[in-house]
Amino acid sequence: MSLSYKPVIWNRTKIIYDAVMLAGIFIYILIFLRLGPVISSALRDTDLPIQRMRAFGSLALLMLTIVLAIGPLARIDARFIPLLYNRRHFGVMTAIIAATHAYYVLGWYFSFSPTPQLTALFTSNTSFTSTAGFPFELFGVFALVILAVLAVTSHDFWLSFLTPPVWKAIHMSVYFAYAAVILHVALGALIDRRDLALAFLSLGGLATLCVLHLIAGRRETSADAAASKKAPEAPWVIVGDLSEIAEGRAIIGAAPGGERIAVFRSKGGLSAVSNICSHQNGPIGEGKVVIGFITCPWHGYQYRPEDGCSPPPFRERIRKYRLRLEGSSVLVDPEPLPLGTKLEPLAIPAELLPAVAAPKKEGTV
């Protein structure tokens, strides 16, 4: 959160994340250009500019596949969650790598064209009735346009300007971009029948993504369907035991119907809020209390425990829920309070205060 919009707000975690990502990009390009011609005869017989454009093209495909895999992987195994928190940087860099590939393609194939490069790109291949010769370049252009739009609109300014539902709908088009890239690579491989490795790699990535999304979707559906156990007295539900909640952390329950509720413990009190951040629907329950504020792990959006409102001048709000204790069992009323309702944290009785759970180590489930 910031009082003004800045192109990038850096912190130590983001710097490390981006440094590792850039190092990985450098190593991949270096290995592709050095070892690729040694391993593949098809690459060995091509010029360096073609090897270079293929290096960036294959890297863009790999990065886009990873971007789409991070979400389901984080749901399947919590050790992948750190990759999720700064996925926006990964996506922007993917668009830059894809644009670099396109730049090299235009520079190599159309440098000496008597017509403008873009005009030549769209008119040089018009074999629309041929499968093997279909102008696969168009799918690449389509994907690049989508990735560019997503990169430009990834900033919070656009999220606020467009509203979260519209912003979310726009960014779901990344799946259209991925489908276009798969067609771009597969049809390109049909024209150049000597090196089909990239085509098989793209199909392998597609199959892997489908499996990951199916597994993650099944788990999410099962978790939503399995609401927390109902307490003897309606409408309360039991979300867990006090000893399960580490200081500054939360446990997550599920109300009937699938609404997830996060119960935070901080300074001798309990507070129940929606598990969905109003910024980008991040999982607030996986965050922690920082300087007295419930903090979303995705982008640091903060909310007061007593009313679920962001501190001024911010205006984000999340739902609050009533709480009670039955012994050490934590009970929640699944009916949310009106947004902005003030409800002081539920005080933990003195005899239960020693029951403090040890905080989970980073990367554990």
Query: Tell me: the pLDDT tens digits for 3-13?
Result: 566 666 677 88
The reported pTM is 0.76
Q: Among 3.40.50.1240, 3.40.50.300, 2.102.10.10, 1.10.20.10, what is the CATH number of 230-351?
A: 2.102.10.10
Is the predicted pLDDT of residue 365 greater than 70, yes or no? no
Among 73-77, 227-231, 327-331, name the one with the lowest average pLDDT.
227-231
- Residue 363: the pLDDT is 39
Task: Give residue 362's identity as a one-letter amino acid code.
Answer: E
- Residue 254: the pLDDT is 85
Q: Cβ atoms within 10 A of the Cβ of 4, count?
A: 5
Confidence of residue 362 (pLDDT cuts 50, 70, 90): very low
Query: Tell me: the pLDDT tens digits for 258-286?
Result: 788 999 999 999 999 999 888 877 889 88
Return the DSSP state at 268: T
DSSP string, 299-351: T--EE-TTT-BPPTT---B--EE-EEEETTEEEE-SSPBPTT---PPEEPPGG
Query: Tell me: the pLDDT tens digits for 99-122?
Result: 999 999 998 888 777 888 888 888
Summarize the confidence of residues 230-255 as an average pLDDT: 89
Q: How far apart are the first and last CA of the chain?
A: 27
Helices (H) and strands (E) in the chain, counts: 11, 12
Give Cα separations from 230 to 253, 265, 274, 326 (angstroms): 11, 21, 18, 13
Is the predicted pLDDT of residue 226 greater than 80, yes or no? no
Max CA separation in the chain (angstroms):
84
Is the predicted pLDDT of residue 24 greater than 80, yes or no? yes
- Name the helix (H) or strand (E) containing 239: strand 237-241
